[in-house]
Amino acid sequence: MPNPEKTETVRDKGQEARPLDAFDRKILGELAVDAGLSYAELGNRAGLSAPAVHERVKRLRATGRIRGTVAVLDGPATGKPFLAFVHVDSTGWGKTQELLALSELPEVEEIHSVAGDTCMLLKVRCASSRALEGLLARLYALPSVKATRSYVVLSTFLERTPQAGITEALEGE
């Protein structure tokens, strides 16, 4: 009887634990594009049986490789046609907590801290330019926010979640 709390010499995240064989990566690749596939169909594409695929998917979920399964909504079709990236310059380093409160807003999709000539980077999708202005107003209301630069998206040519593939050629150029 295996003990789930047995001593692990490495942590489960990162790329440790199980190195993701070709089957896993194939499965991840398919599910990242369409999570509605049946296990039987997944098995066909990967060369495994349905139960085997099921087992692997369960493991991929348990180990955090798959964070979840979501429906991808269309921004414009759901009433939010305005997309923008906002760079935020803020004073002090511990003030990121203030910005994290913006997670409450469904308009805010991403919050990163970045290296470069700015501190924080937001991805924001909202109903109108008016709403975008309102969001910027909220930003400037924060005492630590010094300046912002907004990049309003005119056209989106590609937008997808993380893909499973890795281009080896990029490593050796």
Distance of alpha carbon 30 from alpha carbon 51, whole angstroms: 17
Q: Minimum CB separation from DNA for residue 14, in Å? A: 18
Task: Select from 32, 50, 121, 164 the one that contacts DNA (CB under 7 A).
Answer: 50
Using CB under 7 A as the binding rule, whether residue 65 contacts DNA is answered as no
Task: Select from 113, 140, 143, 146 the one that contacts its own copies (CB under 8 A).
Answer: 113
Give first-to-last CA distance, the chain, whole Å. 48
Q: Which is nearer to its own copies, 41 or 81 (CB)?
A: 81
Using CB under 7 A as the binding rule, whether residue 18 contacts DNA is answered as yes
Using CB under 7 A as the binding rule, whether residue 55 contacts DNA is answered as yes
The residues in 39-68 that bind its own copies, with binding defined as CB under 8 A, are 63-68
Task: Select from 26, 28, 31, 48 the one that contacts DNA (CB under 7 A).
Answer: 48
Distance of alpha carbon 7 from alpha carbon 120, whole angstroms: 38
Using CB under 8 A as the binding rule, whether residue 107 contacts its own copies is answered as yes
The residues in 135-154 that bind DNA, with binding defined as CB under 7 A, are none
Phi, psi of 86 (to 5 degrees): -115, 120
Distance of alpha carbon 135 from alpha carbon 138, whole angstroms: 5
The residues in 96-115 that bind DNA, with binding defined as CB under 7 A, are none
Using CB under 8 A as the binding rule, whether residue 72 contacts its own copies is answered as yes
Look up tokens 């991929």; give the residue.
60
CA distances for 131 relative to 138, 151, 172, angstroms? 11, 15, 45
Those residues with Cβ within 8 angstroms of residue 64's Cβ, 6 or more apart along the chain or in another chain: 12, 13
| Chain positions contacting DNA, by CB under 7 A | 2, 18, 23, 37-40, 43, 47-52, 54-56
